[in-house]
Structure 1
Amino acid sequence: MALVTVAPASADSPGSELKRLEDADETFTSPDGQVTVEQYQGKKGEDDLVYQFWTFDDKHEHGALLNPGEDIDLAGYRAGFRFSRNSQWLVRMQKLGAGYHTLFLYRRTGYQFSPATPKPLGEMAWDYFFSQPVSWKMHRKSRDRDSLNHKQVHLLQGMDDNYASMGKRWPDSRYVVLSLSFDSQGEQPKKPWIEGWRCVFDTKTGQFSIPSDFVDHNAQAVEFPQRRRR
């Protein structure tokens, strides 16, 4: 994967050739008001856009690049961000293409955030899904996760209040709830269709789990089309 070379950037600020996205919904501030995430747009080649995501302290004196080395494969679209309620965790919600979406999780040190997982949180969620018995029922081709159609991992709403709106009383900012989906376009009836299969990531242990009250929901989230009779 080639590195982003659209503009020079100093150690603590974007390059002058990058354009900041200034709409209100494109800048994100931590609940404690001490960190801001800003998005910058640049060009790679004649037609491709690539984005850099920067965090700044509340005085905007020190910046840190959140996604160094990413090309259009991972940073070809602007992103959405959610802070945990204690402002110590940051989730990046990243579109990858039409119908494709993943998540990144970052851990805070001072005003900077660094990756909290060895690879995108969304990819780790798929690893977890394919370790579960439900995936064993899938057709062999469907278990090739790189070929899944419209593969998406989304952040379930509720991180801001520790999922109290879901009736949870979890420790502050410890858990992140994810929702996984893909469809079976073009390969029915061999591939299942998954919409909104849920799992939880524990920021303390780095492990995934499925709470007992998610089991019935997940059973409804997976559809195995009937095989054609010969």
Structure 2
Amino acid sequence: MMLAASPALSASGPPPGFVLTDNADLAFTSPDGATGIEQYKKETEDSDLKWQVWARHGEVMTELKPEQDYPAGFRFTNDSQWLVRMQKTGSGAQDLYLYHVAKGAFARATKTSLSDLAWAYFHGRPDTKKMKLDYHISADLVEGTEQAYRGLGVKWPDNRYLVISLSGAMDKHPKNVAVKGLADWRCRYDLRTGTFDVPALFAKGNAEALRWEIRR
């Protein structure tokens, strides 16, 4: 596992101009109730919005970088030690960022985004390396993190794994096909070792994901 630099702590929180959103759906709390995730927005001179995410733990506030153009969704592991950020980046596009408790505050757990690592794993496999995706590039965290994915019928250790779903579309495809690409190809990330694998239970679904298309 690659640990990033120490978190940036602040006693006062976001800089001037950033206002806490009043959308309750954009506020998140860790399972142990000790950490709250707050999202702040600021309107730019071009009437666009910039968003910052801050973790509040007691009197300490930590900015969860990077700053983005959209709000995000979050999921904790059940031990409240790991946090995944599901960050929209455009129409049908999403990245994932992973944070871990360091020195009493959340910090980036990997030097690059978790989604970049997942895509690198996808493109490094013999069975998927030739697939070229052009748009709607999206990585998502499959629901079930807090329950160690018991809903999938597995008995994995608690707070050990994340299941990531990858999707995307192609510009070049047969004329009788409206959209062709990748839909819900799954892999597993080990929080302890920082490595990926594809458990056998994903094999059938992944084969179908590679053949995904919508015919006209």
Q: Tell me the TM-score range normalised by the shorter chain.
A: 0.7 to 0.9
Residue pair 1:84, 1:160 contacting (<8 A) in 2 also? yes
Please give the alpha-carbon distance, in whole angstroms, between the structure 2 residues aligned to 1:163 and 1:128.
Answer: 21
Give the Å deviation of 1:22.
2.4
Amino acid in the other structure paired with 2:82: W
| Residue correspondences, number | 202
Residue in 2 that maps onto 1:174: 160
Q: Unaligned stretches of 5+ in structure 2? A: 1-7
> 1:159-186: per-residue Cα shift (whole Å, max 9, x none)?
01110111121111110000000112x4
In structure 2, the partner of 1:5 is none
Q: Is the 8 A contact 1:34 1:111 kept in 2?
A: no
Alpha-carbon distance change, 10 to 102 in structure 1, aligned in 2, over 3 angstroms? closer
Which of 173, 176, 189 aligns to 2:174? It is 189
- 8 Å Cα contact 1:56-1:111 kept in structure 2: no
In the alignment, the residues of structure 2 paired with residue 111 and residue 19 of structure 1 have an alpha-carbon distance, to the nearest angstrom, of 25
Aligned to 2:10: 11
Matches within 5 A, 1:52-201: 52-57=52-57, 59=58, 61-67=59-65, 70=67, 75-109=68-102, 111-138=104-131, 142=132, 148-184=134-170, 186-189=171-174, 193-201=181-189
RMSD: 2.1
| Structure 2 Cα separation of the partners of residues 181 and 90 of structure 1 | 22
- Encode CA deviations 1:65-89: one digit per residue, 9 max, x unaligned: 1115x3xxxx100000101011000
Q: Distance in 2 between matches of 1:66 and 1:192?
A: 35
Partner of 1:208: 196
Alpha-carbon distance between aligned partners in 2 of 1:150 and 1:92, rounded to the nearest angstrom: 18
Q: Answer 1 or 2: higher relative contact order, Cα 8 Å, separation at least 6.
A: 2
TM-aligned CA deviation for residue 192 of structure 1: 5.4
1:111 to 1:10, Cα distance in 2 relative to 1, 3 A: closer
Identical pairs, percent: 40
Alignment TM-score, normalising by the size of structure 1: 0.82
**TM-score normalised to structure 2 length:** 0.87
SS at match of 1:51: strand
For 2:49, give the aligned amino acid: L
Matching residue of 1:4: none
Deviation at 1:21, TM superposition (A): 1.1
- Shift of the 23–110 alpha-carbon distance from structure 1 to 2, 3 Å rule, reads farther
Partner SS for 1:135: coil
Offset at 1:198? 0.1
Q: CA deviation at 1:206?
A: 0.4
Shift of residue 124, structure 1, vs aligned partner: 0.7
Task: Give the partner amino acid of 1:125.
Answer: A
Give ranges in structure 1 of 5+ residues lacking alignment. 1-8, 226-230
- Deviating runs (4+, > 3 A) in structure 1? 189-192
Question: What one-letter code is carried by the residue in structure 2 that aligns with 1:151?
Answer: I
Residue pairs, 1:20-59, within 5 angstroms: 20-57=20-57, 59=58
Structure-2 separation of matches of 1:209 and 1:151: 20
Map Cα deviations across residues 177-230 of structure 1 (whole Å, 9 max, x no partner). 00000112x4113995110000000010000000011111101111278xxxxx
Higher strand share: 2
